[in-house]
Amino acid sequence: MAKNKNLHQAKNAKKDEFYTQLGDIENELRHYETHFKDKVVFCNCDDPYESNFFRYFVLNFNRLGLKKLICTCYYDSPISQTKTGKDKAHKIIINEMKDFDNNGSIDLDDARFIIEKALKDSDENVLSVLKGDKTQTSDTSLSLSLA
């Protein structure tokens, strides 16, 4: 029998998601930074609240010159449900990142502010429910990836 005790514990605890480390993402994507200018990035992630890809792109949105960041979330994401109150698959569209809390830098608190504001009213950034389950091959995900 395999001696992957941590994997078995994670499986039993229903915590079987192992996320790419932010440092690894930064080290790889630094080679491609100039290619992101005026582009739309689609992150088909399990949960933007846990995804380091979401963190990387939201924290570097302005520096990379992104046009838009679209992130999707599975319907059964436990963290996202507690943050948004939505028990369905949903998408977050970020068209603008700025220092909303005026602390002198753009950070995850600003991203949280954007999501909370998008939940309350429509503005330049959007949080909405998706049709379907948000699997990578669903029509909704495929249409978003072509946006």
Task: Kindly tell me if the per-residue pLDDT of 61 is higher than 90.
Answer: yes
pLDDT band at 122 (very low <50, low <70, confident <90, very high): low
Burial class (CB in 10 A: 0-12, 13-18, 19+), 32: exposed
Identify whether the C-beta of residue 135 lies closer than 8 Å to the C-beta of residue 141: yes
**pLDDT for the residue numbered 111:** 81
Average pLDDT over residues 36-65: 89
Neighbours of 28 (CB within 10 A): 11
Contacts of 31 (CB under 8 A, 6+ apart): none
Residue scoring higher pLDDT (115 or 98): 98
Unique residue bearing structure tokens 């029509």: 139
- For the record, the structure tokens of 86 come out as 């939505």
Residue scoring higher pLDDT (132 or 17): 132
Instruction: Give, as one character, the DSSP assignment of residue 64.
Output: H
pLDDT band at 94 (very low <50, low <70, confident <90, very high): confident
The pTM assigned to this predicted structure is: 0.70
Task: Kindly tell me if the per-residue pLDDT of 92 is higher than 50.
Answer: yes
24-46 confidence digits (pLDDT tens): 999 999 999 999 999 999 888 77
**pLDDT for the residue numbered 123:** 60
Identify whether the C-beta of residue 49 lies closer than 8 Å to the C-beta of residue 72: no
Kind of pairing between the strands at 68-73 and 40-44: parallel
Measured between alpha carbons, how far is 20 from 42 in angstroms, rounded to an integer? 16
- The rounded Cα 141 to chain-centroid distance in angstroms is 14
Average pLDDT over residues 90-117: 83
**pLDDT for the residue numbered 36:** 97
Measured between alpha carbons, how far is 14 from 11 in angstroms, rounded to an integer? 5
Is 2 strand, coil or helix?
coil
Q: What is the distance in angstroms between the CA of the first residue and the CA of the last residue of the chain? A: 46
Average pLDDT over residues 42-70: 88
